[in-house]
Structure 1
């Protein structure tokens, strides 16, 4: 995964719920100049339409197709949540320990989702990301993938 910088990797975060987690990912993409503020609401809308939980303790918050107009440049933020955040319901918990907030120009969007899903299909890779002690360790894992 190219263009990953330490500013886009956030360790040891805690969230009360998935909305707070998605909003945080969106704020990082806004701060990096990848998207406009409107993209954050589109990320929440996307979760309401179809869960961004991907299994193996990961979620990939991203905007709806209609929100592509808010994307200025492709980008990814990675957020480590050691205590986990529930992306399911009270009855059926879907705990997430690593979030990948993404925004993609054109076909980059689908490409990013595919790269992340493929890498995280191996639970050992997810454990490594969840246990990483610094940003460089996370970047090294993903760039080498």
Structure 2
């Protein structure tokens, strides 16, 4: 997994809706110069097409295939949401406590999703990220991955 810049890690965030959470991830990628603003909207579209909820309290917001043209460089942000945000419906809750916003240039996209999914398939890793008290803890956890 690529080295994670500490300014791409956010702790203790709260969101009222999944759209707000996805948009926040997109804005982080935009601010870091990874994507153009159109990519943020494509992240919301992608979730409408197929949920970015992955199970184990994880969501991986990313853009549609058509939006790859808006990716300037690969990037990843991690947003911790201790109180959780619902990525499900009114009938079925799918609570997310850790968001991985990604933008992958070329083949990096699939590789990033696979690495995150593999890391997060171990619920202990997810708990470690969700409970981390500082950015360094999260950076250390993922550098080892």
Shorter-chain TM-score tier: over 0.9
Q: Which runs of 4+ in 1 moved over 6 A?
A: none
* 1-structure distance, mates of 2:3, 2:128: 20
**CA offset at residue 90 of structure 1?**
1.2
* 2-structure distance, mates of 1:61, 1:9: 15
The residue number in structure 2 matching 1:75 is: 75
Q: Deviations over 1:2-27 (max 9, x none)?
A: 13111000000000000000000000
The residue number in structure 2 matching 1:107 is: 107
**CA offset at residue 65 of structure 1?**
0.2
**CA offset at residue 59 of structure 1?**
0.1
List alignment gaps of at least 5 residues for structure 2.
Answer: none
The residue number in structure 1 matching 2:130 is: 130
List alignment gaps of at least 5 residues for structure 1.
Answer: none
Partners of 1:3 and 1:75 within 8 A in 2: no
* 2-structure distance, mates of 1:19, 1:2: 26
* 2-structure distance, mates of 1:2, 1:105: 13
Which secondary structure state, in structure 1, belongs to the residue aligned with residue 33 of structure 2?
Answer: coil
Do residues 62 (structure 1) and 98 (structure 2) align? no
Partners of 1:11 and 1:80 within 8 A in 2: yes
* 1-structure distance, mates of 2:47, 2:70: 17
Which secondary structure state, in structure 2, belongs to the residue aligned with residue 66 of structure 1?
Answer: helix
* 2-structure distance, mates of 1:139, 1:107: 23
**CA offset at residue 136 of structure 1?**
0.7
* 2-structure distance, mates of 1:3, 1:127: 21
Superposition pairs of residues 1-145 of structure 1, within 5 angstroms: 1-145=1-145
Which secondary structure state, in structure 1, belongs to the residue aligned with residue 139 of structure 2?
Answer: helix
**CA offset at residue 117 of structure 1?**
0.2
* 2-structure distance, mates of 1:117, 1:136: 21
